[in-house]
Amino acid sequence: NAGVMQNPRHLVRRRGQEARLRCSPMKGHSHVYWYRQLPEEGLKFMVYLQKENIIDESGMPKERFSAEFPKEGPSILRIQQVVRGDSAAYFCASTGTGSSYEQYFGPGTRLTVT
């Protein structure tokens, strides 16, 4: 009965490196959302994916950020050439395809860029 899994829980990267954040949705869920929480700010939507498709990426910065949700395996949020401003908590949430659209959150990945 695993919930939404995210790894790593904490990630430290130097400026210019790449960060890869992984999210495994709840069993049976095929919709994944990525949200970002900047220090002392509220949560903001980044991208919404279904298996093999990006449905809505309107909240994602145009450069350096990309996301995927392959047929097999977790969803991945990739940040290239990280900068200090990317330091934040990144949460993913998943939903199923039934009539309930309740989103279940993972524990988050806390990215620190030094």
The yes or no reply on residue 42 touching another protein (CB under 8 A) is yes
Handedness of CA 55, 75, 95, 62 (dihedral sign): negative
Contact window for another protein (CB under 8 A) among 16-24, 66-74, 77-85, 91-99: 91-99
The yes or no reply on residue 107 touching another protein (CB under 8 A) is yes
Closest to 104 measured CA to CA, from 8, 1, 29, 7: 29
d(CA 21, CA 10): 10
Nearer to another protein, 48 or 65 (CB): 48
Hey, how many other C-beta atoms are within 10 angstroms of the C-beta on 73? 10
Contact window for another protein (CB under 8 A) among 11-19, 29-37, 60-68, 77-85: 29-37
The yes or no reply on residue 69 touching another protein (CB under 8 A) is no
Residue 21: what residue type?
Answer: L
Interface ranges with another protein (CB under 8 A): 31, 33, 35, 41-45, 48, 55-56, 59, 91, 93, 95, 100-108, 110
